[in-house]
Each structure stands twice: as structure tokens, then as C-alpha cells.
């Protein structure tokens, strides 16, 4: 926790970033994927494609419907105990011209070797 928190970072008007400790880093993972699918969707729609689904690392955007099945896009919500090589879904939802983002806390985490406490990226 010594390296976590916006209170440990300052953005100056000049654009310079001041960090309380050198080991602090900024991770734009959550923003980057959402921005990327928004830009991809814009490009696809400019090219007159009206039905598509984009997925980038758990961020999903749907437009139109799934023409292969003539139905709305259906997205599976993965079970927390699912294994990478044997994925199982907990539920399914329909997305109609919507986006959804998954955090993946059950995969993106680390354990403190001293306390054995689990820390997730969110």
C-alpha cells in the first residue's frame, strides 16, 4: 500500500508528474481498453457495418445483433472458480447496443507473502 493511491501522485500544470516514491507507477489498463473498443466501434461504423461485437481483454461492446444466429448478442459471465483452460459461465446476459467491462479480480491479483492477504487490481 506504500505505492498505491492518487494522494501519492501530483500532476502539475506543466504536465509533469511528481511521485511521492520512485516505485509508484500509473496503470491506465482500465481506461485504455474501453477507449480502444470505442475507437474501433467508431471506425467499424464509419465503414457502414451495423452488426458487430468487439472484445478486448474483458471489455465488450455490441452494436446491432448476431447475424449468425439472428438474435441479440449474448455475453457469458464467467464463474469465479472457472479455470483458464476450462472456462465455465455463471450467467448469460443480452447486450443490445451496449458495453460491459469485467474486472477479472479473480485472475488479476497478488498475495502478500508475509500476511498471505489477497490484493486485487481494483
In a domain, 13, yes or no: no
Assessment of whether the complete model's pTM goes beyond 0.75: no
Query: Model confidence at 26, in pLDDT bands (50, 70, 90)?
Result: confident
In a domain, 51, yes or no: yes
In a domain, 9, yes or no: no
Can you list the alpha helix ranges (DSSP code H) found in 8-113?
29-46
Structural domains in the chain (count): 1
In a domain, 22, yes or no: no
In a domain, 3, yes or no: no
Q: What is the DSSP letter of 103?
A: -
Of 36, 41, 38, which Cα lies nearest the Cα of 51?
A: 41
In a domain, 53, yes or no: yes
Cβ contact 1:23 at 8 Å: no
In a domain, 7, yes or no: no
Following DSSP, what letter does each residue of 1-37 receive, concatenated?
-TT--GGGEEE-TTS-EEESSTT-----HHHHHHHHH
From residue 32, alpha-carbon distances to 46, 87, 121 in Å are 21, 25, 15
In a domain, 23, yes or no: no
Q: For 84-116, how does the pLDDT look when each residue is reduced to its tens digit (9 = 90+)? A: 788 788 889 999 999 988 766 666 777 888 998
Range of the domain at 35: 29-120
Give the DSSP H/E element, type plus range, for residue 47.
none
Q: For 40-84, how does the pLDDT look when each residue is reduced to its tens digit (9 = 90+)? A: 999 999 999 999 999 987 889 999 999 999 999 999 888 877 777
84: CB partners within 8 A, 6+ apart = 107
Q: What is the pLDDT of residue 107?
A: 67
Can you list the alpha helix ranges (DSSP code H) found in 47-92?
none
Amino acid at each position: 500500500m506504500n505505492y498505491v493511491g492518487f494522494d501519492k501522485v501530483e500532476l502539475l500544470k506543466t504536465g509533469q508528474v511528481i511521485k511521492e516514491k520512485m516505485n509508484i507507477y500509473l496503470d491506465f489498463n482500465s481506461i485504455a481498453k474501453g477507449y480502444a473498443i470505442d475507437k474501433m466501434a467508431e471506425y467499424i461504423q464509419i465503414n457502414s457495418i451495423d452488426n458487430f461485437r468487439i472484445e478486448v481483454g474483458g471489455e465488450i461492446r455490441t452494436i446491432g445483433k448476431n447475424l449468425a444466429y439472428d438474435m441479440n448478442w449474448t455475453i457469458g459471465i464467467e464463474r469465479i472458480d472457472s479455470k483458464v483452460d476450462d472456462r465455465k459461465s455463471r450467467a448469460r446476459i443480452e447486450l443490445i447496443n451496449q458495453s460491459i467491462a469485467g474486472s477479472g479480480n479473480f485472475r488479476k491479483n497478488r498475495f502478500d507473502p508475509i500476511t498471505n492477504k489477497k490484493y486485487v487490481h481494483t
